[in-house]
Each structure stands twice: as C-alpha cells, then as structure tokens.
Amino acid sequence: MNIALGFGQTETDYEDNLGREFEQFVKSEFDEVCKAHSFAMVYDHNAKRIREWLTSKAGESRSMADQFDESDKPPARYSSFHATLTDSASDVVAIVDFTHINRKHALSPDGWGLLQTKRLFHVSSTDHCLSQESEATK
C-alpha cells in the first residue's frame, strides 16, 4: 500500500488482517472440496457462502464507521470497506475498496483526513488442494 501523510501502519494492518481472514475462510471452504473430490473446483454453494461472509464483514465495518461518524467521541482513526467477489472454476478473488478516516489529521483545517485504497485478495482452490495433498503425503 502506498502510504499517505497522516496514514500508515494502522491502515495497512487493517487491510492485511482482512486479507488473512478472507484467505482463511476461503481455504476452509476449499477443505470441504479437497476432501470430497480428487480435483479442485469452486462450487456455487462455496461461492455463495464466501460471498455472504464477505458481505457480512463489509456491512459490519460500514455500520461501525457510521456509528463513529455520528459519535461525539469517535476514535481518532477508523476504517471500513466495500467488497465485490468474483469467482471462476478454481479461483476466488475479493476486490475490496477501503475507506480510512483520520479524525485528527495534522494537515487538515477541520482535522478530518480520508484515504481510499483498493486491494485484491486471491485464493486458488487448485493451489490449496495441491498443498493439502503434499502435506498429507509427508
């Protein structure tokens, strides 16, 4: 992530944590597929559960940000995101638009600073299932 004045590790950590959570959730969905079939594939029901999870996480983040926006004593920095999920037969990609707020930005006359970033998080069912097979044969 490119760092902008008034933003930094806090925002990077928020994005990286979401990426790790997404990857762990998707891989847990793929575990079911890897065990049930000799090939890796993203099925509609897996994609639906992943999409629901991502939509729920995004809704939670926006709800918290809305509460902070209206609060008399909000935290100095907070973030939220919108996300879109796309999938193919073997891949799942989350396209995430982050909004980071700094309510005590040193260079802003009113103290508010805004940073918007976009990140892609990709998980391949083929790579995951192959790594599961190689771990099982050790």
The better pLDDT of the pair 98, 31 is held by 98
Residue 34 lies in a domain: yes
Residue 123's domain spans which residues? 9-136
Residue 3 lies in a domain: no
Residue 4 lies in a domain: no
Residue 101 lies in a domain: yes
For range 124-133, the mean pLDDT: 75
The pLDDT assigned to 110 comes to: 85
For range 21-46, the mean pLDDT: 83
Task: Tell me the pLDDT band of 137, cut-offs 50, 70 and 90.
Answer: low
Q: Is the pLDDT of residue 40 over 90?
A: no
Task: Tell me the pLDDT band of 127, cut-offs 50, 70 and 90.
Answer: confident
The pLDDT assigned to 29 comes to: 85
Angle at 20 between CA 16 and CA 21, to 5 degrees: 115
Average pLDDT, the chain: 87
Residue 57 lies in a domain: yes
The whole-angstrom separation of Cα 65 and Cα 59 is: 10
Task: Tell me the pLDDT band of 24, cut-offs 50, 70 and 90.
Answer: very high
Residue 60 lies in a domain: yes
Q: Which two tokens stand for residue 134?
A: 């190689």
Quote the number of domains for the chain. 1
Residue 104 lies in a domain: yes
CB 69 within 8 A of CB 62: no
The pLDDT assigned to 30 comes to: 84
Residue 122 lies in a domain: yes
The pLDDT assigned to 131 comes to: 73
